[in-house]
Protein backbone atom coordinates (compact mmCIF):
# COMPACT_ATOMS: atom_id res chain seq x y z
CA UNK A 1 0.00 0.00 0.00
CA UNK A 2 1.44 3.37 -1.01
CA UNK A 3 2.29 5.72 1.84
CA UNK A 4 2.99 9.43 2.07
CA UNK A 5 6.46 10.56 3.16
CA UNK A 6 5.33 10.50 6.81
CA UNK A 7 4.54 6.81 6.58
CA UNK A 8 0.75 7.14 6.69
CA UNK A 9 -1.12 5.10 4.05
CA UNK A 10 -2.83 7.23 1.41
CA UNK A 11 -6.06 5.30 1.87
CA UNK A 12 -6.09 6.28 5.54
CA UNK A 13 -5.56 9.95 4.73
CA UNK A 14 -8.34 9.91 2.16
CA UNK A 15 -10.63 8.06 4.55
CA UNK A 16 -10.08 10.77 7.17
CA UNK A 17 -10.44 13.76 4.81
CA UNK A 18 -13.21 12.58 2.45
CA UNK A 19 -16.10 12.82 4.99
CA UNK A 20 -15.18 16.43 5.70
CA UNK A 21 -15.12 17.38 2.03
CA UNK A 22 -18.31 15.42 1.45
CA UNK A 23 -20.06 17.26 4.26
CA UNK A 24 -19.05 20.71 3.00
CA UNK A 25 -19.96 19.84 -0.59
CA UNK A 26 -23.34 18.38 0.34
CA UNK A 27 -24.02 21.37 2.59
CA UNK A 28 -23.25 23.70 -0.30
CA UNK A 29 -25.54 21.80 -2.68
CA UNK A 30 -28.41 21.95 -0.18
CA UNK A 31 -27.99 25.72 0.20
CA UNK A 32 -27.74 26.20 -3.56
CA UNK A 33 -30.86 24.11 -4.24
CA UNK A 34 -32.89 25.87 -1.54
CA UNK A 35 -31.94 29.34 -2.81
CA UNK A 36 -32.40 28.48 -6.48
CA UNK A 37 -35.79 26.82 -6.02
CA UNK A 38 -37.11 29.93 -4.32
CA UNK A 39 -35.52 32.42 -6.71
CA UNK A 40 -36.25 30.51 -9.90
CA UNK A 41 -39.87 29.80 -9.02
CA UNK A 42 -40.59 33.37 -7.95
CA UNK A 43 -38.94 34.76 -11.08
CA UNK A 44 -40.98 32.46 -13.33
CA UNK A 45 -44.28 33.12 -11.59
CA UNK A 46 -43.66 36.89 -11.58
CA UNK A 47 -42.26 37.10 -15.09
CA UNK A 48 -41.68 40.70 -16.19
CA UNK A 49 -42.41 42.11 -12.74
CA UNK A 50 -40.17 43.60 -10.09
CA UNK A 51 -39.61 40.26 -8.34
CA UNK A 52 -38.44 38.72 -11.62
CA UNK A 53 -36.05 41.60 -12.27
CA UNK A 54 -34.61 41.44 -8.76
CA UNK A 55 -34.17 37.65 -8.82
CA UNK A 56 -32.59 37.72 -12.29
CA UNK A 57 -30.22 40.54 -11.30
CA UNK A 58 -29.13 38.66 -8.19
CA UNK A 59 -28.55 35.55 -10.29
CA UNK A 60 -26.38 37.48 -12.77
CA UNK A 61 -24.42 38.95 -9.86
CA UNK A 62 -23.96 35.51 -8.33
CA UNK A 63 -22.67 34.03 -11.58
CA UNK A 64 -20.18 36.91 -11.92
CA UNK A 65 -18.64 36.46 -8.45
CA UNK A 66 -15.70 34.03 -8.10
CA UNK A 67 -16.11 31.80 -5.06
CA UNK A 68 -12.71 32.72 -3.60
CA UNK A 69 -13.53 36.45 -3.80
CA UNK A 70 -16.93 35.85 -2.23
CA UNK A 71 -15.23 33.89 0.55
CA UNK A 72 -13.19 36.92 1.63
CA UNK A 73 -16.27 39.16 1.43
CA UNK A 74 -18.23 36.77 3.67
CA UNK A 75 -15.35 36.55 6.14
CA UNK A 76 -14.99 40.32 6.24
CA UNK A 77 -18.73 40.97 6.64
CA UNK A 78 -20.16 38.07 8.64
CA UNK A 79 -17.10 36.88 10.58
CA UNK A 80 -14.89 39.92 11.24
CA UNK A 81 -17.62 42.53 10.96
CA UNK A 82 -20.70 41.07 12.66
CA UNK A 83 -18.99 38.14 14.42
CA UNK A 84 -21.75 35.75 13.39
CA UNK A 85 -19.56 32.90 12.14
CA UNK A 86 -15.94 31.80 12.61
CA UNK A 87 -13.48 33.17 10.06
CA UNK A 88 -11.19 30.16 10.11
CA UNK A 89 -11.29 26.54 11.13
CA UNK A 90 -13.87 23.78 10.92
CA UNK A 91 -15.46 21.39 13.40
CA UNK A 92 -15.68 17.85 12.05
CA UNK A 93 -19.23 16.47 11.80
CA UNK A 94 -18.05 13.38 13.68
CA UNK A 95 -17.15 15.60 16.65
CA UNK A 96 -20.20 17.86 16.59
CA UNK A 97 -22.86 17.88 13.86
CA UNK A 98 -24.19 21.25 15.00
CA UNK A 99 -20.67 22.62 15.21
CA UNK A 100 -20.03 21.43 11.66
CA UNK A 101 -23.19 23.15 10.42
CA UNK A 102 -22.18 26.36 12.18
CA UNK A 103 -18.49 26.45 11.24
CA UNK A 104 -19.16 25.17 7.73
CA UNK A 105 -21.84 27.69 6.82
CA UNK A 106 -19.55 30.37 5.36
CA UNK A 107 -17.46 28.01 3.19
CA UNK A 108 -20.62 26.21 2.04
CA UNK A 109 -22.30 29.52 1.22
CA UNK A 110 -19.26 30.70 -0.74
CA UNK A 111 -19.42 27.55 -2.85
CA UNK A 112 -23.22 27.58 -3.11
CA UNK A 113 -23.80 31.18 -4.22
CA UNK A 114 -22.46 30.91 -7.80
CA UNK A 115 -24.13 27.52 -8.23
CA UNK A 116 -27.45 28.83 -6.90
CA UNK A 117 -27.36 31.59 -9.50
CA UNK A 118 -26.86 29.08 -12.32
CA UNK A 119 -29.57 26.79 -10.94
CA UNK A 120 -32.05 29.65 -10.52
CA UNK A 121 -31.63 30.87 -14.10
CA UNK A 122 -32.02 27.33 -15.43
CA UNK A 123 -35.13 26.70 -13.34
CA UNK A 124 -36.73 29.96 -14.44
CA UNK A 125 -36.08 29.22 -18.10
CA UNK A 126 -37.28 25.64 -17.73
CA UNK A 127 -40.49 26.67 -15.95
CA UNK A 128 -41.32 29.28 -18.58
CA UNK A 129 -40.58 26.88 -21.41
CA UNK A 130 -42.66 24.10 -19.84
CA UNK A 131 -45.56 26.45 -19.14
CA UNK A 132 -45.95 27.02 -22.90
CA UNK A 133 -46.18 23.32 -23.77
CA UNK A 134 -49.37 22.01 -25.39
CA UNK A 135 -50.26 19.62 -22.56
CA UNK A 136 -50.17 22.53 -20.11
CA UNK A 137 -52.49 24.56 -22.33
CA UNK A 138 -54.86 21.57 -22.52
CA UNK A 139 -54.77 21.14 -18.73
CA UNK A 140 -55.72 24.78 -18.27
CA UNK A 141 -58.53 24.48 -20.84
CA UNK A 142 -59.97 21.57 -18.85
CA UNK A 143 -60.53 23.90 -15.94
CA UNK A 144 -57.82 22.75 -13.55
CA UNK A 145 -56.76 25.37 -11.04
CA UNK A 146 -53.51 27.26 -11.58
CA UNK A 147 -51.78 25.75 -8.50
CA UNK A 148 -52.77 22.23 -9.62
CA UNK A 149 -51.44 22.81 -13.15
CA UNK A 150 -48.22 24.27 -11.79
CA UNK A 151 -47.55 21.39 -9.39
CA UNK A 152 -48.53 18.47 -11.62
CA UNK A 153 -47.85 19.67 -15.15
CA UNK A 154 -45.22 22.40 -15.02
CA UNK A 155 -42.96 22.05 -11.99
CA UNK A 156 -42.28 18.32 -12.18
CA UNK A 157 -41.39 18.39 -15.87
CA UNK A 158 -39.28 21.52 -15.42
CA UNK A 159 -37.19 19.73 -12.80
CA UNK A 160 -35.60 17.38 -15.36
CA UNK A 161 -33.22 19.94 -16.95
CA UNK A 162 -32.79 21.55 -13.52
CA UNK A 163 -31.55 18.30 -11.96
CA UNK A 164 -29.32 17.69 -14.98
CA UNK A 165 -27.61 21.04 -14.48
CA UNK A 166 -27.03 20.20 -10.81
CA UNK A 167 -25.17 17.08 -11.87
CA UNK A 168 -23.08 19.02 -14.37
CA UNK A 169 -22.13 21.61 -11.75
CA UNK A 170 -20.69 19.01 -9.35
CA UNK A 171 -17.35 19.13 -11.17
CA UNK A 172 -17.17 22.89 -10.54
CA UNK A 173 -18.21 22.34 -6.94
CA UNK A 174 -15.26 20.00 -6.40
CA UNK A 175 -12.92 22.55 -7.95
CA UNK A 176 -14.31 25.21 -5.63
CA UNK A 177 -13.89 22.94 -2.62
CA UNK A 178 -10.15 22.74 -3.25
CA UNK A 179 -9.84 26.54 -3.05
CA UNK A 180 -12.36 27.15 -0.28
CA UNK A 181 -10.83 24.57 2.03
CA UNK A 182 -7.52 26.41 1.87
CA UNK A 183 -9.14 29.76 2.60
CA UNK A 184 -11.11 28.57 5.62
CA UNK A 185 -8.55 26.10 6.96
CA UNK A 186 -10.68 23.02 6.40
CA UNK A 187 -8.66 19.81 6.54
CA UNK A 188 -10.52 18.06 3.75
CA UNK A 189 -9.59 16.24 0.61
CA UNK A 190 -9.01 19.48 -1.29
CA UNK A 191 -6.43 20.67 1.23
CA UNK A 192 -4.77 17.27 1.12
CA UNK A 193 -4.50 17.47 -2.65
CA UNK A 194 -3.01 20.98 -2.57
CA UNK A 195 -0.51 20.08 0.16
CA UNK A 196 0.50 16.98 -1.77
CA UNK A 197 0.96 19.03 -4.95
CA UNK A 198 3.25 21.50 -3.18
CA UNK A 199 5.21 18.59 -1.67
CA UNK A 200 5.40 16.89 -5.10
CA UNK A 201 3.70 13.84 -3.62
CA UNK A 202 2.34 12.61 -6.94
CA UNK A 203 0.77 9.34 -5.70
CA UNK A 204 -1.41 11.29 -3.25
CA UNK A 205 -2.38 13.82 -5.92
CA UNK A 206 -3.32 10.98 -8.26
CA UNK A 207 -5.34 9.22 -5.55
CA UNK A 208 -7.26 12.42 -4.76
CA UNK A 209 -7.92 12.96 -8.47
CA UNK A 210 -9.34 9.46 -8.80
CA UNK A 211 -11.60 10.03 -5.80
CA UNK A 212 -12.90 13.30 -7.27
CA UNK A 213 -13.50 11.59 -10.61
CA UNK A 214 -15.39 8.78 -8.89
CA UNK A 215 -17.60 11.30 -7.12
CA UNK A 216 -18.47 13.00 -10.41
CA UNK A 217 -19.38 9.65 -12.00
CA UNK A 218 -21.53 8.60 -9.04
CA UNK A 219 -23.34 11.94 -8.96
CA UNK A 220 -24.09 11.77 -12.67
CA UNK A 221 -25.43 8.25 -12.21
CA UNK A 222 -27.68 9.51 -9.41
CA UNK A 223 -28.87 12.36 -11.65
CA UNK A 224 -29.80 9.89 -14.40
CA UNK A 225 -31.79 7.80 -11.91
CA UNK A 226 -33.61 10.88 -10.61
CA UNK A 227 -34.48 11.96 -14.16
CA UNK A 228 -35.88 8.49 -14.86
CA UNK A 229 -37.99 8.74 -11.70
CA UNK A 230 -39.31 12.13 -12.83
CA UNK A 231 -39.99 10.89 -16.38
CA UNK A 232 -40.27 7.07 -16.61
CA UNK A 233 -40.28 7.29 -20.42
CA UNK A 234 -36.52 7.86 -20.26
CA UNK A 235 -35.99 4.27 -19.12
CA UNK A 236 -37.35 2.86 -22.39
Asked whether residue 216 is assigned to any structural domain, the reply reads yes
Q: pTM of the predicted model, to two decimals?
A: 0.90
Helix (H, G, I), strand (E, B) or coil at 200: coil
Asked whether residue 61 is assigned to any structural domain, the reply reads yes
* Cβ neighbourhood burial of 70 (10 Å; 0-12, 13-18, 19+): buried
Q: How many CB atoms lie within 10 A of CB 93?
A: 19
Q: What is the mean pLDDT of residues 138-161?
A: 89
> Mean pLDDT across the chain, nearest whole number?
88
Asked whether residue 141 is assigned to any structural domain, the reply reads no
C-beta separation of 90 from 186 below 8 A? yes
The pLDDT score that the predictor gives to residue 39 is 93
What is the tens place of the pLDDT at every residue in 51-89?
Answer: 889 988 888 888 888 888 899 999 999 999 898 999 998
What is the tens place of the pLDDT at every residue in 9-40?
Answer: 888 889 999 999 999 999 999 999 999 999 99
Asked whether residue 182 is assigned to any structural domain, the reply reads yes
Q: Looking at residue 111, which CATH number applies to its domain?
A: 1.10.3720.10
Residues 6+ apart with CB under 8 A from 224: none
pLDDT at 136 over 70: yes
Asked whether residue 88 is assigned to any structural domain, the reply reads yes
Asked whether residue 102 is assigned to any structural domain, the reply reads yes
- Give the closest residue to 68 by CA, choosing from 178, 198, 188: 178
For the chain, the domain total comes to 1
User: What range defines the domain where residue 94 resides?
Assistant: 17-126+158-235
Asked whether residue 42 is assigned to any structural domain, the reply reads yes
Report DSSP state, residue 85.
S
Asked whether residue 143 is assigned to any structural domain, the reply reads no
- State the Cα–Cα distance between residues 208 and 203, nearest whole angstrom: 9
Amino acid sequence: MTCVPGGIPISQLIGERLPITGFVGFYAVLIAVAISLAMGTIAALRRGRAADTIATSIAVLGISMPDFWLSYILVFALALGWHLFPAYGFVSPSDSPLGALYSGFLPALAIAAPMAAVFARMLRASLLETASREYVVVARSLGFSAPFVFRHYIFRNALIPYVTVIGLQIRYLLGGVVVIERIFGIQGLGSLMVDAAFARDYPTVLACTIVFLSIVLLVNLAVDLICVALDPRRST
